[in-house]
Amino acid sequence: MTYYAYLATCPAGFEGEVARLVPREWKGAEVTRHSGGAVWFSLPFPLDPDSIPDYVSNVFFVLREWNTSANPFSELVKQSARKSALSELPRRYAPRSFRVRFSRENRFESVDRKVADSAERFIAAATGAAPDRLGSGGEYWFIVRSETWSAFAVRLERKPGEGKAVARGELTAAIASLVVLRAAKGLAPRVVLDPCAGHGAIPERVAAFFPEARVLAQDIDPDSVASLRRRFSGNPRVIVTPGDLRGLPGVADSSVDLIVSDPPWGMWEEGGYRDTGEILTLYSDFLKAAARVLAPGGRLCALTGAKRDFEGAVGADPSFSRAAGEPGFRTDILVNGKKAALYVLNA
């Protein structure tokens, strides 16, 4: 049986979660490893690009791979051309026009023009597609990763609208999805609260993943509340109200199964978040209010870059202090290039 090799990328720190989800997403998928925001897997059939879930940043169909990170891009191009790597490319994956990208350890890298020209020539000759350096077509990638692995691959194109741009400060669909999936792992929540809903990325994913749940979306900013009401005007299960995470007014005691949110991180300074005392007080008040509104067996999940402050608040809170010693309490991730962590606290 022929097996097709794929590489899925995701926000760094969530690769374990994605590795767990891939076999559920595609029956027959075999995950071979995961590391550094990437999951390697194979399938006995070519996957449908429209089936790629939004918790995955990109999926690549691997045309040729090497168990080394030492080869220069010029050698990867030469070997790919010599071995007719494109002979295994399913027709549905072949773009009509393309550009070539070179990525080393998750960063694009410039190469000698002769190397790029050589890559364009052999791809065009093998596929009949036209090079398009402006990037309006598909993409062939030469990838070198730190896990002693390199590849020549084609990035699969999703249906139009996927991977849309987000507003400043808004979580990407991939991060919001993985936060929600990790937060709700093992639960079947009926009422979910986001008290800092902002642009609405988290409530949107909650509503998508849990169609039976009632979603409470709150924010202290009137403009954000107005924007949230417009965004969810067609979904009666998402209830938008003004709110304040310092007390969660309007939320009844023991009425919420899951709180999942991206609360304020504080003031960014010199590569970290400055501890002014205010953010610690905010988190402490939030935890106290969360303990009040969570139902027995409920859970709080918070995403923050102010890790020291949040952990300090957890350690001093009588309801949640024990959570710091539980498995899965903290998952370190990157959010827009900044170090952050996802915290899971069971009530």
CB 7 within 8 A of CB 34: no
Q: What is the CATH number of the domain that holds 139?
A: 3.30.2130.30
What's the pTM?
0.83
Backbone angles phi, psi at 235, to 5 degrees: -125, 100
Residue with tokens 């300074």: 269
Which parts of the chain sit beneath pLDDT 70?
1, 159-166, 267-276
| pLDDT tens per residue across span 85-127 | 898 899 899 999 999 999 999 899 999 999 999 999 999 999 9
CATH number, domain containing residue 271: 3.40.50.150
Alpha-helical regions (H) of the chain: 15-25, 73-82, 113-127, 173-183, 201-209, 222-231, 278-293, 307-316
CA distance 136 to 150: 25
Residue where one domain finishes, among candidates 155, 188, 210: 155
Quick one: residue 16, left, alpha or beta (phi over 0 = left, psi -120 to 50 = alpha)?
alpha
Domain contains 160: no
Are 326 and 209 part of one and the same domain? yes
For residue 171, the 8-state DSSP code is: P
Q: Does residue 71 sit within a domain?
A: yes
Are residues 13 and 66 part of one domain? yes
Q: Which residue has the tokens 């039976």?
A: 212
Specify if 37 maps to a domain.
yes
In a domain, 234, yes or no: yes
Locate 146 and state its tokens: 């730190």
Cβ-contact 331, 341 below 8 angstroms: yes
Residues 149 and 177 reside in one and the same domain: no
Domain boundary residue among 126, 155, 184? 155
Final residue of a domain: which of 120, 155, 190? 155
User: What pLDDT score was predicted for residue 82?
Assistant: 84
| Token representation of residue 63 | 């045309």
Could you give the number of structural domains in the chain? 2
| Same domain, yes or no: 180 and 285 | yes
Residues 207 and 254 occupy one common structural domain: yes
Specify the pLDDT at position 276. Answer: 67
| Both structure tokens of 50 | 């429209």
If asked whether residues 225 and 340 sit together in one domain, one would say yes
Distance in angstroms (rounded) separating the CA atoms of residues 10 and 59: 9
Q: Are residues 138 and 179 in the same domain?
A: no
Is 163 a member of any domain?
A: no
Q: Are residues 133 and 234 in the same domain?
A: no
Domain that holds residue 147: 4-155
pLDDT tens string 251-274: 999 999 999 999 998 865 555 556
